[in-house]
Amino acid sequence: MRSIRFGIAICLLLCSGLAICQPSSREAGIADVVKHPPGAYVEVNGAKLWYESEGTGDPLVLIAGGPGAPHDIFHPFFSRLADRHRVIYFDAFGRGKSARAKSLNDYSFDRDVEDLEGLRKALGLRKWAVLGFSYGGMVAQAYALKYPGMVDQLILADTLFSAEMWQASNDNCNYELQNQFPEIWAKVQQLRGMGLRSSAKEHQKVYDIPVGLLYFHDASLAEKLPKETFYIDPRCVLCDRW
């Protein structure tokens, strides 16, 4: 059990490093060279969802973040667990290779939760370990609360569990933005003074900054750089993300 937990922890570290400290595989132009395990479509709640599966053993399903991210953020990192788990990747409704909604009203948080349960049934699994990354962690928590008997283990990574935690994260982003990009902060304050919300197009144009630089930097954290042979981006450590 300890080795399994260590393996999952290493995969999460690598996955987090990709998501936070590096451009996505699509942005880096390497999406086509990522090796995908065998996949297929399954019918879930009236829509076709794409899933991929590799390995044998206790099933582990991975829920991507976003909302909107496809499953490929987990490749190739979680393949190292395929020797002890059946690792299941999937694109939620409206993401990746899965079906799109005919109406925006068809997209909802509740549907993401129900589709996860629908996927379990479609794959004929009695129960599984559930890992949620970022937004996926919120779906994982809601799923575990509604279907506790179907969850063998619940693993949460880079996610939140309350509105207070979400606000604290936003406050930290605002603090770092003000200190690291004062010229952009001034523009943001001007837009806020005009009554524009952060969802406005004007705000989206202003927030053209490297997200990784919003995380706290402390050079003394260099002492925490791992001595193990597996790869960890040192920027993640220095930003206190490891």
CATH number of the domain encompassing residue 116: 3.40.50.1820
Alpha carbon 193 to chain centroid, angstroms: 33
Percent with pLDDT over 90 in the chain: 48
Q: Is the pLDDT of residue 216 over 80?
A: no
Q: State which of 157, 178, 208 marks the end of a domain.
A: 157
Q: Which helix (H) or strand (E) holds 120?
A: helix 109-122
Q: State which of 157, 184, 199 marks the end of a domain.
A: 157
- Count the alpha carbons within 13 Å of 65 in the hemisphere toward its beta carbon: 18
Q: What pLDDT does 111 receive?
A: 97
Q: What pLDDT does 175 receive?
A: 85
Q: What pLDDT does 230 receive?
A: 41
Instruction: Report pTM.
Output: 0.71
Residues 186 and 66 in one domain: no
Q: Is the pLDDT of residue 239 over 80?
A: no
For residues 76-92, one letter each, b for 16 or more C-beta atoms within 10 angstroms of the residue's C-beta and e for the rest, the string is ebbbbbbeebbbbbbbb
Q: Are 88 and 123 in contact (CB under 8 A)?
A: yes
Residues 32 and 49 in one domain: yes
Residues 13 and 124 in one domain: yes
| Residue 63: strand pairing partners | 132
Q: Is the pLDDT of residue 11 over 70?
A: no
Which of these ranges, 10-24, 25-39, 108-122, 169-183, has the smallest mean pLDDT?
10-24
Domain interval for residue 65: 2-157
Residues 103 and 171 in one domain: no
Q: Is the pLDDT of residue 96 over 80?
A: yes
Q: What pLDDT does 10 receive?
A: 44
Residues 136 and 30 in one domain: yes
Cα gap 93→116, rounded to integer Å: 10
Q: State which of 96, 123, 157 marks the end of a domain.
A: 157
Average pLDDT over residues 123-145: 96
Average pLDDT over residues 176-196: 89
